[in-house]
């Protein structure tokens, strides 16, 4: 059987750090309030002259270097993002240009915070079918451009960054064992950017009413996330006939430390088996999991044969998981 194996990882965070203390000078909040409710201490903010594809390019260069590959070796680029450079063309096409990946097809995936796992699942199917040999999968966001810096309930949450992985076909026990994708469009309004599309095209009214920024119903989202993610992890492990004790590492979407802790507690997993970097990155949506995966990889927290579970929840609503044997 051919499996899709992650052969390298890479990530990029902008150099500018926005701390909770600095945020408290912008809105009515405090370091204590933010830390207690979210676990976030700081987040990264992209320079004004940088784009989402720029961040993706930097993360991709690192992943290519770590794999010892050239951009021309890639036959497909999939970018997961909700903050692309423009409505079209796809941000993936702009990344392809910057990398000079002349042999690669390219397209975007929009599944909000679940986007990276959605993209990973698509790449996995392409490799298993033999259509593509080497695929670059990227999660990249500049959410600071879509944040209402006057709304203390949301502006404390989001940050900028990018993560990338390279996949190739592999015969053996290692690789992506399964992916699981779900959605419920009935709950679309829990997390959204109301304007900018065909429903509410950009106008003076939409700009004045700040409808081009992230809107979220926090309490409803929190409750649904805890319930859904716990069940998702159970289903993923059951599908692969594994118990939580066999997991080496859970790498969740970095949205809120209370959600992460609640899910770990629900499945009986100790926090030393959970990867968390939310304190330094905030919520980077589709970039969250690949950044955390690269952090764990570079820190030596993953070794050959380990079972790694990725899980995410985001706007749509969408939720997804992937079980990997490293």
| Residue 181 and residue 56 share a domain | no
Q: What is the pLDDT of residues 134-157, one digit of tens each?
A: 999 999 999 999 999 999 999 999
Please state the domain count of the chain.
2
Active site residue 281: no
Q: What is the pLDDT of residues 281-293, one digit of tens each?
A: 999 999 999 999 9
Active-site residue identified among 20, 110, 283, 297: 283
Q: Contact, 286 vs 320, CB < 8 A?
A: no
Active site residue 66: no
Domain end point (choices 127, 143, 172):
172
Active-site residue identified among 20, 93, 253, 256: 253
Q: What is the pLDDT of residues 54-66, one digit of tens each?
A: 999 999 999 999 9
| Residue 208 and residue 129 share a domain | no
Domain end point (choices 121, 152, 172):
172
Residues in the chain, total: 326
Q: Global pTM?
A: 0.96
Q: Contact, 321 vs 116, CB < 8 A?
A: no
Q: What is the CATH number of the domain that holds 83?
A: 3.40.47.10
| Residue 181 and residue 48 share a domain | no
| Residue 318 and residue 300 share a domain | yes
> What's the rounded Cα separation, in Å, for the pair 198 and 3?
40
Q: Token pair of 116, please?
A: 């990276």
| Residue 185 and residue 163 share a domain | no
| Residue 220 and residue 146 share a domain | no
Active site residue 113: yes
Active-site residue identified among 113, 155, 281, 297: 113
Domain span including residue 53:
2-172
For the chain, how long is the longest CA-to-CA vector? 57
| Residue 103 and residue 86 share a domain | yes
| Residue 185 and residue 160 share a domain | no
Domain end point (choices 121, 149, 172):
172
Q: Contact, 1 vs 178, CB < 8 A?
A: no
> What's the rounded Cα separation, in Å, for the pair 22 and 42?
9
| Residue 187 and residue 152 share a domain | no
Q: What are phi and psi of 215, to 5 degrees?
A: -120, 135
Q: Contact, 196 vs 209, CB < 8 A?
A: no
Q: What is the mean pLDDT of the chain?
A: 96
Q: Contact, 166 vs 64, CB < 8 A?
A: yes
């Amino acid at each position: 059987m051919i499996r899709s194996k992650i052969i390298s990882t890479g990530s990029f965070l902008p150099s500018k750090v926005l701390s909770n203390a600095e945020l408290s000078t912008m809105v009515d909040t405090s370091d204590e309030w933010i830390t207690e409710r979210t676990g976030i201490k700081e987040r990264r903010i992209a320079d004004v002259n940088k784009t989402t594809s720029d961040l993706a390019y930097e993360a991709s260069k690192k992943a290519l270097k770590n794999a010892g590959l050239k951009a021309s070796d890639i036959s497909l680029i999939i970018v997961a993002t909700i903050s692309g450079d423009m409505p079209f063309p796809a941000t993936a096409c702009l990344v392809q240009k910057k990398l000079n990946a002349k042999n690669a097809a390219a397209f975007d995936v929009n599944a909000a915070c679940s986007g990276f796992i959605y993209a990973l699942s698509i790449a996995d199917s392409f490799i298993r079918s033999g259509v593509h040999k080497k695929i670059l999968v990227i999660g990249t966001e500049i959410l600071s451009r879509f944040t209402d810096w006057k709304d203390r309930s949301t502006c404390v949450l989001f940050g900028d960054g990018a993560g990338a992985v390279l996949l190739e076909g592999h015969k053996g026990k290692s690789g992506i064992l399964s992916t699981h994708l779900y959605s419920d469009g009935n709950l679309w309004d829990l997390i959204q950017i109301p304007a900018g599309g065909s429903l509410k095209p950009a106008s003076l009214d939409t700009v004045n009413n700040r409808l081009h920024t992230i809107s979220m119903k926090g309490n409803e989202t929190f409750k649904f996330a805890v319930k859904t993610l716990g069940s998702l992890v159970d289903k993923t492990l059951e599908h692969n006939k594994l118990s939580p004790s066999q997991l080496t590492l859970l790498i969740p979407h970095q949205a809120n430390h209370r959600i992460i802790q609640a899910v770990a507690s629900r499945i009986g997993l100790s926090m030393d088996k959970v990867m968390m970097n939310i304190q330094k990155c905030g919520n980077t949506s589709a970039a969250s999991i690949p950044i955390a995966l690269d952090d764990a990889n570079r820190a030596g927290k993953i070794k050959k044969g380990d079972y790694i579970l990725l899980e995410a929840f985001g706007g749509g609503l969408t939720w997804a998981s992937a079980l990997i044997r490293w």
